[in-house]
Amino acid sequence: MDTENSIRQAIRCLFLIAFISRNHAAVVNIKTKGAKGDGISDDGKAIVSAWKEACGGPAPSSLLIPPGTYKAFPPIDLIGPCKGPITINATGATVKAPPELEKFTTTYWIAIRNVSKLTMIGGTYDGQGQQAWKKNLCPDGGTGSCPLPVSLQFTYVTNSSLEHVTSADSKFFHMSLVGCDNTRLDHVTIKAPANSVNTDGIQIGLLSGFNITNSIMTTNDDCISIGQGSKNVNIKNIMCGPGDGIGIGSLGRHANEKPVQGIWIKNVTFTGTEHGFRIKTWPTSFPGSVSDLHYEDIIMKNATYPIFIDQNYCPMNNCKNGTASKVKISNVSLRNIKGTSATKVALKFDCSAGAPCENVNLNDINLTYKGPEGGPATSQCANIKPKVIGQVVPPACPH
């Protein structure tokens, strides 16, 4: 072969390599990193090692957890930034945490940090929380110092998505997302028994752009809990319950909290939940704001307190009472809300005397009560003058 020919050959070869690598993302199978998949051995280190290779390798890359059952000891730290988009594909796989709390030195089981364009597809992440729930002494969903581990902790994971991911029996919260701008969750399943403890579904905060659609959540605490600094949140086509509903807050307990702004909640069914729509703020609190909330096409099936603005939130009486909350709630619309309340007071607006609720629209609401006390459902109102549009049953804040 002459020189020219072999150069031509080499160039053709380079093009072929470029073509292949463009069309076939580098897939790192955790089995090539020593994962056994026997459900007993610790495959956590293999997951971390596969992550490091995929994350550091040419993009787009993919970490594959093939079908099977894996036990993964904490901490599972999956840290970016990566070279480019990255996928974790656990379709058909179950990854189990050790049941013993003693195995945990961190407040999470799996942490994903500083990653952009992550796609998580499939898989069941099983926190095996049954033992931990019995040891949970956290006073109020973790507002005190509370060491139980979150199953999936996302911090600064941006422009990312989770699809068909299941979180089961977390020891504490199922998922938390902080600083995760532009994140989309679709067909996510959250499950833990009603008698588990503090198993909030998804906690979010300090992010802009969070969408969750077509998901089912059965748990013990909030299905979705919206914390300070949450902006542009869309929650759509969700089944929630048992659980504690979709809550905003608690807010106002700490200084310098960022506003909660732009929350759209549409087509949600609450079944046997403690609350449906709730905002909770502490009295004697720091200033804050909650605004631009849109809540529509909601079905309540025997929710204990379907609609509840609680600006005197003070669990365990561990705050001084008597001073009004300084968190301002404004620009709220509640539209097309139907169903049943397990207690008589179906609409409760306990707004702050120090920062009355403003510009609240109630449109087409029908909540009925059929419990032991008998009689129709009622409303309770303080420091609010809602604008009523269409039929609102029970009558809200009659004068």
Ligand X SMILES: *[C@@H]1O[C@H](CO)[C@@H](O)[C@H](O)[C@H]1NC(C)=O
Residues binding ligand X (CB under 6 A)? 64, 66-67, 89, 91-92, 114, 116, 121, 156, 158-159, 181-182, 184, 209, 211, 234, 237-239, 267, 269, 289, 291-292, 302, 304, 312, 314, 317, 321, 330-331, 342, 359, 366, 368, 391, 393
State in angstroms the smallest separation of the CB of 191 from ligand X.
Answer: 15
Nearer to ligand X, 147 or 395 (CB): 395
d(CA 280, CA 40): 43
State in angstroms the smallest separation of the CB of 335 from ligand X.
Answer: 14
State in angstroms the smallest separation of the CB of 99 from ligand X.
Answer: 26
Nearer to ligand X, 41 or 114 (CB): 114
State in angstroms the smallest separation of the CB of 138 from ligand X.
Answer: 19
State in angstroms the smallest separation of the CB of 9 from ligand X.
Answer: 33
Nearer to ligand X, 241 or 247 (CB): 241
Residues in the chain: 399
State in angstroms the smallest separation of the CB of 258 from ligand X.
Answer: 13
State in angstroms the smallest separation of the CB of 2 from ligand X.
Answer: 44
Q: What are phi and psi of 144, to 5 degrees?
A: -85, -165
Contact 273, 245 (CB under 8 A): yes
State in angstroms the smallest separation of the CB of 247 from ligand X.
Answer: 17
Nearer to ligand X, 227 or 242 (CB): 242
State in angstroms the smallest separation of the CB of 125 from ligand X.
Answer: 16
Nearer to ligand X, 132 or 180 (CB): 180
Nearer to ligand X, 34 or 67 (CB): 67
CA atoms within 13 A on the CB side of 285: 28
Nearer to ligand X, 330 or 378 (CB): 330
Residues contacting residue 21 through CB under 8 Å, at least 6 positions apart: 58
DSSP label of 316? G
Contact 185, 213 (CB under 8 A): yes
Backbone φ/ψ region at 114: left (φ over 0), alpha (ψ -120 to 50), beta: left
Residues contacting residue 16 through CB under 8 Å, at least 6 positions apart: none
Nearer to ligand X, 203 or 289 (CB): 289
DSSP label of 351? -
- Residue type (1 letter), 306: P
Sheet (strand 275-281) strand order: 76-79, 108-116, 150-158, 175-178, 202-205, 224-226, 246-251, 275-281, 305-310, 345-350, 378-382
Nearer to ligand X, 41 or 291 (CB): 291
DSSP label of 241? -
Q: What are phi and psi of 52, to 5 degrees?
A: -60, -40
Nearer to ligand X, 132 or 357 (CB): 357
Backbone φ/ψ region at 34: left (φ over 0), alpha (ψ -120 to 50), beta: left
d(CA 315, CA 48): 39
| Burial label, 4 (beta-carbon count in 10 A; 0-12, 13-18, 19+) | exposed
d(CA 302, CA 304): 6
d(CA 291, CA 263): 8
State in angstroms the smallest separation of the CB of 251 from ligand X.
Answer: 14
